[in-house]
Structure 1
Amino acid sequence: GDVADEARRQRIPVVIKKSAPQKMNRRQSEDQGRRTAGSVALVKPRIPSALSELFPDPGQDAQTGGLWLALDCIQDPHNIGAIFRTAAFFGVRGIVLTKDRSAPINATVYDVASGGMEAVPFAVETNLSRSISQAKETGVWIMGTSEHAEEDVSAYSQDRPWLIVIGNEEKGLRRL
């Protein structure tokens, strides 16, 4: 149908398989009950970028602005997906995720992200503090979020590059 035709126009390989209803039902239950609207796409997960690929070369973009995010131990895959979806809409240039104590990048994240996972480059790092230091070395300014912040994020200059660090849902930012 229309989805397959558009995929072919975009040079995306399409294989149409007529599946027995019981096979589709089994597939849906394996996918935690997500609705398929009659179509299922098997998509290879994206491979994370190297951290050095996310940030500009030192000094290169220091005056042009841009926004990156760092997610510090976000544990709910729905939250990660929502962050990627929103980041794609706002043109975020990259996201750094922590490897430990974070939700895995799984089907739920892809589903909630609604295309954001494909649109925003990301790196998965063991040491967030080191990642922040690398961002600083490239001229990126660092900002942390807090529910107790006295200033709104919009108060900061948007003509420079920023990395906004978002803390865990329960505990907020760790001391890095």
Structure 2
Amino acid sequence: MSAKKNKPSSNRSSFKGSTSGSSDKPRRKDGHKSAKPGSGKPNRRSRPGREDEFESPSPGEFTKPKHTSSPKRRSKLPGSAPKNPDSLTFASSSDRAPRQAFVSQTTVNAPTDSPEADADLLYGRHSVLAALEGDRTLNRIWITSRLRYDPRFHPLLIQAKAAGAVIDEVDHRRLSQLTQGANHQGVVAQAAPYEYLEFEELVLKAKNSEDLPLLIAADGITDPHNLGAIIRTAEALGAQGLIIPQRRSVGITSTVSKVAAGALETFPVTRVVNLSRALEQLKEEGFWIYGTAANAGNPVHQVKFDRAVVLVIGSEGEGLALLTQRHCDALVSIPLSGRTQSLNASVAAGMVLYEVFRQRWSNTVHLDTFTSKSATEYNKA
């Protein structure tokens, strides 16, 4: 009986394993059984440029990858804090470099013909015309060629140039750049800073007026559009001037001048440190102080404004300050019938101003009896 030759088992069959539990299964060098193919732990293939990291195992052998370099701990960065907090040292304030004044540098480096260089920019035909006709100094004027030779502007521009103003003929694009897209109407002027009138001079001017003295005081008006509208309405209805505090109130800016539409050239404005003290001084000069308040005081049409009057207008949001109300002789209100319980500050000022103007004008002209027939007879006479 011839012995049957057993075929030598290949390495591939050794990876598959057998159920007989033979000891011919290849083992790893560490004594553990090798993983089956497809078990999720295959040998990592070598990649281009990484031949030095891994070596392909021989058939039937599973080896750990050989790393040529071990991970190193990252070195401390320059300036990192030490482990011992007691060893911390702090630099004195004299060792620190001074901070740069970014805002001041921006102001210095701004071009001379930009809005940042001078906030007193006037734009709009009415505002610039009033400035040319008034006593305000103009340093530079930007104007379109079409408007430069307009009969209203041309002679005034000649006078301004003789007084030292620079006249630049530009296009609308340049004007829009100067005004940051505002409605310039073809002309922009750079004026000297606004000169506020002294408080004593304003009081004297109001008392020497031919009409009954009427002054406006703005308490907490921070919106330049509101302040400009108040100035425009007050000048149109015969007021002699405006009083604003230095704090919690907007000053005379280019926006105020634009909204006032030239009224600032003939309407004086004074700025006081303490509004309450100024109101007390006005009382000593014979003025009566009336403050506007919502849903408080007497209706405005029931108050007689037949004396020297100061109207104090508060902001729409907060109204008159409590300290300002204490210095008022009386508070007046505007009757409202709608759901809206407050009015814009400039609108409220205009309504109260018109009531003062109506009472004084009606006492002079007698509007109730002045009909069209009597006007015709008056013209014939």
Shared fold by TM > 0.5? yes
Question: Separation in 1 of the partners of 2:288 and 2:272?
Answer: 19
- Deviation beyond 6 Å, 4+ runs, structure 1: none
1:143 and 1:163 in contact (8 A); partners too: yes
Tell me whether 1:5 sits opposite 2:5 in the alignment.
Answer: no
Match of 1:37 in 2: 185
Match of 1:56 in 2: 204
Worse-superposed segment, 14-23 or 41-50 = 14-23
The AA in structure 2 aligned to 1:52 is: E
The AA in structure 2 aligned to 1:5 is: H
Deviation of the 1:21 alpha carbon: 5.7
Deviations 1:28-85 (A, max 9, x none): 32xxx2222222222223211111111138xx66xx6221011011111110000001
Q: List aligned pairs for 1:66-85, cutoff 5 A.
A: 66-85=213-232
Tell me whether 1:110 sits opposite 2:261 in the alignment.
Answer: no
Match of 1:18 in 2: 169
Secondary structure at 1:96 match in 2: strand
Secondary structure at 1:42 match in 2: strand
Secondary structure at 1:157 match in 2: coil
Secondary structure at 2:318 match in 1: coil
Question: Separation in 2 of the partners of 1:22 and 1:69?
Answer: 39
Deviations 1:103-146 (A, max 9, x none): 23211111111112222111111201101011111111111101
1:73 and 1:102 in contact (8 A); partners too: yes
1:94 and 1:122 in contact (8 A); partners too: yes
Which runs of 5 or more residues in structure 1 are unaligned? none
The AA in structure 1 aligned to 2:319 is: G
Question: Separation in 2 of the partners of 1:107 and 1:147?
Answer: 30
RCO comparison, higher one (Cα < 8 Å, 6+) = 1
Question: Separation in 1 of the partners of 2:227 and 2:193?
Answer: 15
Match of 2:276 in 1: 129
The 1:155/1:49 distance shift into structure 2, 3 A limit, reads same
The 1:91/1:19 distance shift into structure 2, 3 A limit, reads same
Question: Separation in 2 of the partners of 1:6 and 1:139?
Answer: 45
The AA in structure 1 aligned to 2:251 is: P
The AA in structure 2 aligned to 1:89 is: A
Question: Separation in 2 of the partners of 1:65 and 1:127?
Answer: 25
Question: Separation in 2 of the partners of 1:122 and 1:84?
Answer: 9
The AA in structure 2 aligned to 1:34 is: A
Tell me whether 1:88 sits opposite 2:239 in the alignment.
Answer: no
The AA in structure 2 aligned to 1:51 is: F
Secondary structure at 1:16 match in 2: strand
The 1:105/1:175 distance shift into structure 2, 3 A limit, reads same
Secondary structure at 2:242 match in 1: strand
User: Aligned residues, how many?
Assistant: 170
Question: Separation in 2 of the partners of 1:133 and 1:77?
Answer: 27
Deviation of the 1:101 alpha carbon: 1.1
Secondary structure at 1:74 match in 2: coil
2:247 and 2:273 in contact (8 A); partners too: yes
Question: Separation in 2 of the partners of 1:150 and 1:22?
Answer: 52
The AA in structure 2 aligned to 1:149 is: A
Secondary structure at 1:23 match in 2: helix
Deviation of the 1:25 alpha carbon: 3.6
Worse-superposed segment, 91-100 or 14-23 = 14-23
